[in-house]
Chains A and B, each alone.
Chain A
Amino acid sequence: MTFLAKPSVRHRKLKLNELGLSHRDYEGPVSTLCAGCGHDSVSAAITTACAELSLPPHRFAKISGIGCSSKTPSYFLDKSHGFNSVHGRMPSVATGTSLANRDLHLIGVSGDGDSASIGLGQFAHIVRRRINMLYIVDNNGTYGLTKGQFSATNDQGSTNKRGVPNLYASIDLVSVAMQLGATFVARSFSGDKSQLVPLIKAGLKHPGFAFIDVISPCVAFNNHEGSTKSYNYVRDHDSQVVNADLVLPQAEITTNYAPGEQENVTMPDGSILRLSKLASEYDPRDRLAALNYVQSKAEVGEIVTGLLYIDPDSSDCHTIMNTTEQALNELDESVLCPGEASLAEINASFR
């Protein structure tokens, strides 16, 4: 960690978005995580994505649980709403937030301990309920805050710093999410912002539950030889299948993509999600095939990254439950208390 604050001085030619803000306006105070922590890169990627989408920084709610990952919402979007909840219980608070105010952009940041160990039950249910949010797991395969024990996402056979191997099978969060009905599932790497930033942008625009599992190396406890979540290992075993790029409705569509197949998915606001396939046989709309592909690659030690699955006809919890169109804090008295006639009508329907 550093004791110095990042000075507010900025480059005079810094790019400004449609709101007249630069990415510096989406930052938070300097991180207290270890220098070189992957989580800080994820925070920076979120900052960049939000700035590039010109989203108003005060219209966010960022929710987290406990752990190094869950500290990070402090370090970005410091003008927004936030709630640092109980260990593994971020999904409950996020669900409540989403139901109360559907107008906020909701970002949940959790870790492998928070989501795959103590919070696995909560994680399963928020996926099922398809809360309209972006759920990011900073996945480093270790309990860094408690000095480096194996976490539930640590691969079997991967060793700790002293060379002792992990004896248990790992939980693959992207597979779990696909199985339980998530409509946007991606995996990325904190060391590859060119892939991660567009995925975050797409996830923020996705109407429904968007999940990104970000492999984010722990420099202090899980970045050694023998670890499968180190900077070197991930770079050597990264197998990118589909890259996503969000083209905003007003933006001119340019085609400067590397050769490969492309497919456009239109988002509800008119923006276009352009998918470029790096593995030609991969179809990100085929959930079963995607599950199969991810797991068969994992068998041979490869880490599949990119936009793994997307349901273009996704829906979210509000649609399913047919909730009110307005945020609850905007409902006035006449709506909340419609009077005796309405009550009589409801009572009549039960007779």
Chain B
Amino acid sequence: MLNWDSNVFPGILGRTCDRPCEPACRRVRAEDTPVAICRLKRVAADYKGDIQRYLPTIPSTKNGKRVALLGAGPASLAVARDLMPLGYEVHIFDRGVAGGGMMRSQIPAFRLPEKVLNEEVDLVLDMGVECHFDYEIDSMKNMLSQQFDAYFIGTGAPRGRDLDIPGRNECSEHISIGIDWLSSVAFEHVDSIKGKVIVLGGGNTAMDCCRTSRRLGAESVHVVVRSGFEVMKASDWEKEDAMAEGIPITNNRPPLEFVHENGKLKGILFQCIEQVEDENGRLKSVPTGEPDVFMEADHVLLAIGQENYCPWIERDLGIAFDKWDCPELHEETLQSTLDNVFFGGDSAFGPENIIQASALAHKAAISIDLFCRGKDVLKDRPVAGLRLSSTKMGMHEWSYDSNYDESVRHAVPQVDSGLALRDIKVEVELGFDEKLGLEEAQRCLNCDVQTVFTEQLCIECDACVDICPMDCITFTPNAEETELRASLKIPAENIEQALYVSEALKTDRVMVKDEDVCLHCGLCAERCPTNAWDMQTSVIQVPSLAVPSLPLTEEG
């Protein structure tokens, strides 16, 4: 439920998330590979059992406020989920035939089975959301005339970028915009692709396009990317999955021209470039001087980016847009310049991802709730907080699993590749089972548990210094930060991670802990004779309507 409260779509995100959490995982700093956080969320969702009785109750008497959500993608659904339990009358409008937005139209079924999608979308819609599907939103003015108390715009970034090079118009029949093509496949308007396919672009959409083509009968599939392999926008695992299915990725080839014969596409001409560091250390593309390369193609899929696109919002309604055609919003409240209109998801700050959409939606829901109650959307917001409590249970006993687990990251089992490539609806990843999931979870380094140091109790016996497996504790004369960082047992080089520095001790030294690589193994606290070290669990409360407020001890 914790998973559902904050993520809203645990089963979906557990399969498709961009995983901004994994590069941040401390395991990366301690060794190499992060805990498979994303796939563990999937395990939690897969094995959740019946959660019906844990779901919030929806008041049968409404509070009299009506909220319109435009678009039925992840952002709008998350707002609906947050607002419904508070008694709002929520209306959702979408041109699609079912909820889910891009999760339904752009993510192929071999990554996200329809069943999982439906289940999580329905959890929200079944709260009693008024659905207006098959509803072409063509005028914001009309919407405003329907007199809702607040509007939330979560229509995403629905326009795929086009490529304006010679030959584009002449052979438009053989060139598709990636996200449009994917949605045609999702809605079964397209069920095959013939001949040699080239996918242009290096993002996750490109990876979905090439893997889908592979399943729809393309003779060959080739991904060609303008930039270098390392700087491609696609997540590493998406690239790996595509390559594992035998799809070559060619880098440093910007397209010059669609070559055609009387409108019949023959292929694409590419320039050869390389990435060179300029004097500022930035990568710059430089032509290598090699002759241009021609690659044969019968069909091209363009996956070179997406844009915000809201032509249906009349520009005279008081909703201001900036020079990139993004709405002008307050960053924290997501309120537009028209005070009852709020934005979220990709339509707020441009294309991001589903988890970002959930995060923005939580913020927007708070704003909408405050706005409808006549409060100030900025000043009256709940604050983020932090609560600490000791995990000590007794001698060598902690309420968390302190032991460091040495195993390497577990790979997620996959179905037989022959089977996966034959049927587009077969989900490639089988997911962890409970046992493997638990084993993987053991790798977690318990970042919620903090080492808390009490100066007055310390006798400077060095026991913690000696036992720390990562050598992250040093007792040293205090100094200015740069000098202090260099003077540690192992210099603290990650300046993004703050040092933990105590007050002056009896010897006038200070205790300095480099938090960067701490394993939270609790050995410092176990070896401390005076309990100057304690392992305390911290709960960070990010404000959200979905999570009940905790009593706070400290503002974070």
Contact = CB atoms under 8 A, between A and B. Distances in A.
A219 B462 CA distance: 12
B470 A191 contact: no
Given A9-B406, A14-B490, A191-B461, A4 B396 contact: yes
B466 A44 contact: yes
A36 interface: yes
A308 to B, nearest CB: 22
Contacts of B471: 10-11, 14
A231 B459 contact: yes
A86 to B, nearest CB: 29
A11 B472 contact: yes
A4 B461 contact: no
A27 to B, nearest CB: 9
A235 B462 CA distance: 14
B280 interface: no
A139 interface: no
Nearest to A13: B490
Interface in A206-255: 217, 219, 223, 231-232, 235
Contacts of B30: 9
Interface in A184-201: 190-191, 193
A14 B472 CA distance: 11
Interface in A20-38: 24, 30, 34-38
Contact of B517 (A2, A11, A219, A235): A11
Contact of A35 (B31, B403, B519, B528): B528
A38 B529 contact: no
A58 interface: no
A16 to B, nearest CB: 12
A59 interface: no
B144 interface: no
B323 to A, nearest CB: 45
Contact of B528 (A10, A36, A191, A223): A36
B404 A7 contact: yes
Interface in B499-531: 506-507, 517, 519, 521-523, 526-530
Nearest to B517: A11
Interface in B508-556: 517, 519, 521-523, 526-530
A351 interface: no
Interface in A159-183: none
Given A4-B521, A9-B404, A40-B466, A232 B459 contact: yes
A38 B527 CA distance: 12
B374 to A, nearest CB: 55
B466 A36 contact: no
Given A7-B521, A36-B461, A190-B462, A2 B526 contact: yes
A9 B519 CA distance: 10
A176 to B, nearest CB: 28
A3 interface: yes
A35 B493 CA distance: 30
B407 to A, nearest CB: 11
A293 B404 CA distance: 51
A41 B459 CA distance: 13
A329 interface: no
B529 A191 contact: no
B526 A10 contact: no
Given A7-B519, A191-B462, A34 B472 contact: no
Contacts of A35: 463, 526-529
A13 B31 CA distance: 11
A219 B491 CA distance: 31
Interface of B is mostly: loop
Listed residue (A7, A38, A217, A223) with the most chain B CB atoms within 10 angstroms of its CB: A7
Given A35-B528, A232-B506, A235-B506, A7 B459 contact: no
A297 interface: no
Given A44-B466, A217-B461, A232-B459, A4 B529 contact: no
Contacts of B517: 11-12
A8 interface: yes
B406 A8 contact: yes
A134 to B, nearest CB: 20
Contact of A34 (B402, B403, B529): B529
Contacts of B402: 4
Given A2-B523, A6-B523, A219 B529 contact: yes
Interface string B450-482: 000000000111110111011110000000000
Contacts of B406: 7-9
B461 A6 contact: no
B470 A9 contact: yes
B148 to A, nearest CB: 55
Nearest to B461: A36
A219 B530 CA distance: 9
B529 A2 contact: no
Nearest to B514: A11
B470 A231 contact: no
A73 B523 CA distance: 21
A221 B527 CA distance: 17
A209 B472 CA distance: 36
Contacts of A235: 460, 506-507
Nearest to A36: B529
A223 B459 contact: yes
A6 B467 contact: yes
Interface in B267-301: none
Given A7-B469, A9-B31, A9-B470, A38 B491 contact: no
A305 to B, nearest CB: 14
B259 to A, nearest CB: 50
A14 B491 CA distance: 10
Contacts of B491: 13
A6 B469 contact: yes
Interface string B314-354: 00000000000000000000000000000000000000000
Interface in B400-423: 402-404, 406
Contacts of B470: 9-11
A231 B459 CA distance: 7
A277 to B, nearest CB: 22
A36 B469 contact: no
A8 B491 CA distance: 20
A231 B466 contact: no
B530 A36 contact: yes
A136 to B, nearest CB: 16
Nearest to A217: B461
A332 B440 CA distance: 57
A225 B427 CA distance: 70
B41 to A, nearest CB: 25
B529 A41 contact: no
A235 B529 CA distance: 18
Contacts of A4: 396, 402-403, 521-523, 526
A7 B403 CA distance: 8
Interface in A94-115: none
A50 B493 CA distance: 26
B424 to A, nearest CB: 42
Contacts of A30: 467
Given A6-B467, A35-B526, A219-B459, 6 more contacts: A2-B396, A3-B396, A7-B469, A7-B519, A35-B527, A40-B463
Q: For the complex of A and B, list the 10 residue pairs with the smallest distance between their C-beta atoms, beginning with the closest.
A: A36-B529, A7-B404, A44-B466, A36-B461, A2-B526, A219-B529, A41-B462, A35-B529, A35-B527, A231-B459
21 contacts: A3-B396, A4-B403, A4-B522, A4-B523, A9-B519, A12-B31, A13-B493, A15-B490, A35-B463, A35-B526, A35-B528, A36-B459, A36-B527, A36-B528, A37-B529, A40-B463, A40-B466, A191-B461, A191-B462, A223-B459, A231-B459
Interface of A: 2-4, 6-15, 24, 30, 34-38, 40-41, 43-44, 190-191, 193, 217, 219, 223, 231-232, 235
